[in-house]
A and B are shown apart, each in its own frame.
Chain A
């Protein structure tokens, strides 16, 4: 049973436009959510996170939105740059879980010049 779902395996966006990556979760105990970026043959790099007490968190070009009622979060990248091309993973953890992260399968973002 997949608790964190990224239903779009890939996304292609033009440079300068907005990239929107989506993530859905099923476990109502999740209260902390993270986005990671991963290049091939490298470890994931932390991008941005959000606690369930918030509905938005912004860091430069990256904004994460959380809709708790819909159990949905999204990552917005504006403006998108070719260097943003990578696989993006959504992850979630529940309080008391020792911080164990449950990852989605990832979305491969391609930003075309």
Chain B
């Protein structure tokens, strides 16, 4: 069966510090991968998606970037965090097309 791992579960970072969140998927190959953010009191906002290694599409211009160095690994990064980057970050995968997306447990990021 397929599983998705996302870490860390919580993170507190000072403003201006770098960020690296990692997501890995097991039990499938060539998945579509997604990063979402849920800000307080808001819905889920798609940040990045990837249909293959090295292929990244950005949905919202922001202080963040994403990379996919391996087929089942998706990384969310920032060089300098802003207060507005605080939120709940979720990684998801799908088998492609309009398949169901399956989410990781999420990372609660607090930028202070």
Q: Which residues of A contact B (CB under 8 A)?
A: 4, 6, 31-32, 34, 36, 41-46, 49, 89, 91, 93, 95, 97-106
Please state if A43 and B104 are interface contacts (CB–CB under 8 Å). Answer: yes
Q: Which residues of B contact A36 (CB under 8 A)?
A: 103
Complex CA gap A98/B52 in Å reads 12
Complex CA gap A6/B34 in Å reads 23
Please state if B43 and A99 are interface contacts (CB–CB under 8 Å). Answer: no
Q: Which residues of A contact B97 (CB under 8 A)?
A: 98-99
Q: Which residues of A contact B94 (CB under 8 A)?
A: 99
The answer, yes or no, to whether B75 is at the interface (CB within 8 Å) is no
Please state if B108 and A41 are interface contacts (CB–CB under 8 Å). Answer: yes
Q: Which residues of B contact A (CB under 8 A)?
A: 6, 32, 34, 36, 41-46, 49, 51, 57, 59, 88, 90, 92, 94, 96-106, 108
Q: Which residues of A contact B46 (CB under 8 A)?
A: 100-102
Please state if B101 and A41 are interface contacts (CB–CB under 8 Å). Answer: no
Interchain nearest-CB distance for B37 vs A (Å): 11
Q: Point out the residue from B32, B43, B57 that lies within 8 Å of A105, measured CB to CB.
A: B43
User: Most chain-A Cβ atoms within 10 A of its Cβ — which of B44, B94, B106?
Assistant: B44
Contacts A34-B101, A46-B100, A101-B44 known; list 14 others, CB within 8 Å.
A42-B105, A42-B106, A43-B92, A43-B104, A43-B105, A43-B106, A45-B103, A89-B43, A93-B98, A98-B97, A99-B96, A100-B46, A103-B43, A103-B44
